[in-house]
Each structure stands twice: as structure tokens, then as C-alpha cells.
Structure 1
Amino acid sequence: MSKEIPVENPPPYSGHPTTGPHFLPQNVVHPTQPTTAGQPSGYAYPVQPGYGQGYGVQSASYNNTTTIVTQPTIAVIQVYRESPVRTMCPHCQADVVTATHYETGTFTWLACVIICFFGFKNFVAFCIGCCLFPFCINGCKDVVHTCPNCRQQIARYNRM
């Protein structure tokens, strides 16, 4: 059997008529009271401390507990390729966009040797120096990322 608790009309409020600090619902049911067929079990409106005194409603007691929610840390892996990257310089701790330049690396020399090997079969291509083309193409060289602030090397992208 459900017991309805009488609620007096609240004092006037300048905001929306169903909101504000003085609004209480008409049919407040305490969770320990039995419910009727139309109400779900354990149905209750939350009553904030101090709001039930003038309206005949029991105030609920709240536990003063602290809940600590921890977020998993996400490791951001910076990928240094051919394009400049925005990062924090480990040397000067500045937030920078890296400056890039190209240097001869293993892939450049390997491409030179392969072209030279196939150039022996075609003596004209060998004499012209086609084996030196990888040294002129940035796509065959390694990319070095440097800090524009302190000029220190931040990363290196090796083709091999």
C-alpha cells in the first residue's frame, strides 16, 4: 500500500514553474515504503538535505565519500617521415614544427650499387653516370628532423 505524503504549494519562483530550488514533485515515495502496481520497486525522488523540512518530506542522509576516477594514459607515438611534424623538442622543451633536410643513407648507396651493377651490361649508361642518380633524388635519401629553435636533431627517418 502506497502512502502519499502531502506537499504544500511552494513559494513563487521567478524561473520555470517546474524547476528551481523550491520545486518538489507531488507524489514522493520513500524507498522503504511498499509500492503500488503502477510504480517500480524502489522508486523515489532524491531529496536534498534541507529541502524536506517545510514540506513534510524526510531528508535523506548522504555519505561523504570521495570517488577517484583514473583515466588510462594514452601514449602518443610520433611518426617522423618525410613531412615536418609538430612536436616538443627534447632539448629546449619548445613546441615546434620540425625542420627537415635530406642526407645520404644506406638506401641511397644500395640504389647506386644496383644501378652500377646493371650499368656494366649497358656501358653507355655506366659512362653517363646513371648510378649517381640516387644521390640527386630526395626520395632515396634519409630525412633528418631538427628543431628550428635550437638546431638540434630530434629524429631521423631511415629509408632502410
Structure 2
Amino acid sequence: MSVPGPYQAAAGPSSVPTAPPSYEETVAVNGYYPAPPAPMPGPATGLMTGPDGKGMNPPSYYTQPVPVPNANAIAVQTVYVQQPVSFFDHPVQMCCPSCNKMIVTQLSYNAGALTWLSCGSLCLLGCVAGCCFIPFCVDALQDVDHYCPNCKALLGTYKRL
């Protein structure tokens, strides 16, 4: 006959597995705070003994039952999700991530790849006498930067090419 190890259960009625307690039972029994260990009365002396068998004083604290939250109460939390903003060549109404205010973006035009490509192609076509610089005056050929009018933060850029 072999001796059962710590991982084996001893034969007998205690070897039947039991289901763990439900969530409601766990919350109702444990509450929010762990319960202190219950002292055990001694044999005939009237002294209380702890789990190790030694005498101990009665606890000097008292626990109060903690109210269980009402199962019917539902906490409502409002979450605002901002969709990704697509920047184009016109002002965009949005919430500024820097100052958290609803704004309409201010536009700033800067020379980009399309502007320089247009200038180079006009130069190759023979517009050398200054006409090749016309793309730098046309907003429709330049990149657009979007700024917040309140905090002047750069919010995004629209690149034409």
C-alpha cells in the first residue's frame, strides 16, 4: 500500500470534490475586508487559544458588517470617443487635443512637393522669366497646416502630393 503524496487525495468521503462558491456567496461572506482569524476557546481554563494552540488575549477590535452594493443600481459612465480627423484644404471643426476646446482650425499654406514640382516643370517649359514662381502664389498647389486658434498648436497637415 502506498502513502498518498501531497498532490493525491486520501481515500474516503472527503475526497469528493466540491464546487467553488459563487460570486454572490464570495461577496456576501468576505465583503470588502478580510475577516480576522476566529479565536478558539481553550479546554477547561477559559483562555482563548490561537491557531497554533498557544493562549492569546481576546481581540481588542470589533468588525462591522460592510454593506453589499445594490445589485439593481447601475453606474452610468459617459465616454466620448473622438473619431480620427481627416485634414484637407478647408477648415475643420474639432476638439483641440491641447486645450480641449471645440474650435475651427486656422489654415496656413506652405510650399510643398507639388509646389516645387510645378515650379520645376514650368521652368523646363521655358517660363524662366519669373513665371515659374507662380505656383508659390497659388494656395491650391501648396500644403495646408491646421492650427488651433486658441493655443496655436499644430493639429495636422494636409500634403497635396
| TM-score between both structures, scaled by the size of structure 1 | 0.49
| TM-score between both structures, scaled by the size of structure 2 | 0.48
